[in-house]
Amino acid sequence: MKLQITTNRARKTADWLPLLLVLVILVFIVRTMTVSILTVKGDAFSPLYQKGDMLVVNHWSYGLRTGGNGSLFSYGRLLRSPVRHGDIIAFDSPSDSIRGIMVGRCKAVPGDTIPLSGGTVLVPGLITCARENYYWIEMPCGKHGKTTQLGLVAESKIIGRVVKTIRW
């Protein structure tokens, strides 16, 4: 009798195992395609974000980013929507010398002009016949309220919008 009970338990476990595996894979796919959680390492966005805060980034804010960055497919966005003035966005570093994910505030969108000490800069985009949209991003510079003008960030580098802060 004991042998039969063990066999029934093993059979029931074997019946649930494929379903559990499929659920784990689905959770992984949904998690990687919808949100990221980033940890703040500096105090540039203080007092808005402080060192150790966790930022939830919505990958679907501007449409799901597909392809690009050395993948088999060219860059594109599913269900595209524009970045707006003042949005705080997460993006892959536009510089080859700095690696990682950065966070900044959108100061200008395609077609806007940015006054600089040497003149003005037109933010390029599809409306100005550029190959893709660019956004002028600024980053706060510590607690003094000053901003650092990071410059142009290509739409293909944008991961998504910061939608929530988790404080510890």
What digits encode the pLDDT tens for the residues 121-143?
Answer: 899 988 888 888 999 998 876 55
**Residue pair 111/83 in contact by the 8 Å Cβ criterion:** no
Q: Does 83 score more than 90 pLDDT?
A: yes
Contact predicate 137/153, CB 8 Å: yes
Band (pLDDT 50/70/90 cuts) for residue 146 is: low
The predicted structure's pLDDT at residue 80: 84
2-32 pLDDT, tens digit each: 545 556 666 777 778 888 888 888 887 776 6
Question: What pLDDT is attached to residue 161?
Answer: 94
Tokens 């804010």 map to which residue? 61
What per-residue confidence (pLDDT) applies to 55? 93
In order of 25, 67, 119, the CA distances from 88 in angstroms are 30, 23, 26
Q: What is the pLDDT of residues 84-124, one digit of tens each?
A: 999 999 998 877 777 888 889 999 999 999 888 888 889 99
Cβ atoms of residues 124 and 134 within 8 Å: yes
Are the C-beta atoms of 29 and 38 separated by less than 8 Å? no
Only one residue has tokens 């510089």, namely 95
Give residue 7's pLDDT: 61
What percent of the chain shows pLDDT beyond 70?
86
